A = this chain, B = another copy of it.
């Protein structure tokens, strides 16, 4: 990877005449995060707002030309395309060797180092923009109403501050971890830290683990991620402005979850839950697919996919999965790329892409085999389909452990999985009606809201545009040091 190859900025941005709607500057994160952001952009566009998207020159997914938005392409050098390709097989091999995903990967210095490099790249990309006077002047002249960004990386937050614009986040993760931890009080006694697959009911030992892991994460965050941003903010904003304070100063946090997915926990007035905002009623399937689905008869179908990024597992695992499916009376639609697995049954259709939402919403669908990405879990909740989970990395184990705690999901550990283990898991969720009933209840609760999540998100984005922020919903906590916030100085004075 070439971090130094930041050669310039290609500006496709042009000053459009101001429409009746507002003007948004969107700074998205690439990959699966873009899918979510695009849902918001489609809706904003349909409401007559002008959207401008900042994209890196090596973007995987974010199109340069779109009828939905104007784009600004910033050269961020070459991206290591092979990283993700190499990532999953190495991850799977590690687990199959019985090594702990959590200790060796999530908390490994190598992983932190890798993410640090991405953060550095983002800081460099943002600096490239800041240094380009023509670009910055045109951004100022454009008179945006708001910056909408995904703060998994910090570019949008920095840009909003530079332009003096209100800030709305489309968020579940920040560089520090699960986003609530940055903004809301988070008692570690019942709020599990991501990665440990704990619930909101913890034993004493689990609570000790939870506190220790949180401390470790704080230490690693500060060791790896603070530096690139600290250098950046010092250079461009002076010594008194930290990235964290800019993040806490956000007007509205649009959270990609809700309390049918997440455990209930303290929240803040400017946090708006839009979990499931990307979900829609199912549309009819293509004829061939519908025919296959209908051929399942009373047994119904199983849908399997491991998400946007991962098309296949190790071949031994693929073979085991195929063999297990072959023993079931259900029909199976399996998104799989790469060589076809051995042991494939007649009941199993391999596809390289599938209309996930339409399949999950089909009345014949009995079971979802999924890696546990947020989008898939939300769609399963929306349509009320129980899950057999094969968590691979990132937030997936914790997403699935939440679903397991709610009695809707069986998790299969990829480290010890074989065809029998997988088959038993499938049979359990298909045979024990409680999984389906619990997921139907969760689905009912998810739908029982005064407003649709996407409408709620739109309301608050437009609120910020109308009112130039949401200052009356932001607490004073962001102005305080840790010592002041926790009244440590007061307590010491009183004890003294």
Contact = CB atoms under 8 A, between A and B. Distances in A.
B487 A207 contact: yes
A489 B204 contact: yes
A403 to B, nearest CB: 13
Interface string A460-489: 000100110000111111001000111101
A296 B414 CA distance: 80
Contact of A185 (B266, B480, B490): B266
B472 A211 contact: no
Interface of A: 184-185, 187-190, 200-201, 204, 207-208, 211-212, 259-260, 263-270, 442, 444-445, 448, 450-451, 455-456, 459, 463, 466-467, 472-477, 480, 484-487, 489-491, 493-494
A19 B467 CA distance: 44
Given A269-B259, A494-B212, A456 B450 contact: yes
Contacts of A189: 477, 480, 484-487, 490
B487 A188 contact: yes
B266 A201 contact: no
Nearest to A448: B463
Contacts of A259: 269, 472-473
Contact of A184 (B212, B266, B489): B266
B266 A190 contact: no
Nearest to A262: B269
Nearest to A484: B189
Nearest to A442: B472
Given A212-B494, A259-B473, 20 more contacts: A189-B485, A189-B486, A189-B487, A190-B476, A190-B477, A200-B476, A204-B490, A208-B493, A211-B491, A211-B494, A260-B472, A264-B473, A264-B474, A266-B266, A266-B267, A448-B463, A448-B466, A450-B450, A450-B456, A451-B451
A477 B187 CA distance: 9
A491 B208 CA distance: 8
24 contacts: A185-B185, A187-B477, A187-B487, A188-B487, A189-B480, A189-B484, A190-B475, A190-B477, A200-B475, A204-B489, A207-B484, A207-B490, A211-B490, A212-B494, A259-B472, A264-B268, A264-B270, A264-B473, A264-B476, A267-B269, A442-B472, A445-B467, A450-B450, A450-B451
A200 B269 CA distance: 15
A266 B268 contact: yes
Contacts of A212: 494
Contacts of A200: 475-476
Q: In the complex, which of the residues A188, A264, A442 has the most CB atoms of chain B within 10 Å of its own CB atom?
A: A264
Contacts of A489: 204, 207
Contacts of A463: 448
B187 A485 contact: yes
A331 B306 CA distance: 73
Contacts of A491: 211
A254 B200 CA distance: 24
Q: In the complex, which of the residues A204, A475, A491 has the most CB atoms of chain B within 10 Å of its own CB atom?
A: A475
Contact of A265 (B265, B269, B493, B494): B269
A96 to B, nearest CB: 34
A473 B451 CA distance: 17
A41 to B, nearest CB: 21
Contact of A472 (B264, B476, B493): B264
A200 B477 CA distance: 9
Contacts of A264: 268-270, 472-476
Contacts of A490: 188-189, 204, 207-208, 211
A450 B452 CA distance: 11
Contacts of A442: 472
Nearest to A471: B264
A263 B484 CA distance: 18
A448 B476 contact: no
Contact of A187 (B185, B270, B473): B185
A3 B486 CA distance: 44
Contacts of A187: 185, 477, 485-487
A189 B489 CA distance: 10
A215 B445 CA distance: 39
Contacts of A201: 476
Contacts of A451: 450-451
Nearest to A183: B266
Q: Which 6 A-B pairs have the closest CB atoms?
A: A185-B185, A190-B476, A200-B476, A264-B475, A450-B459, A264-B269
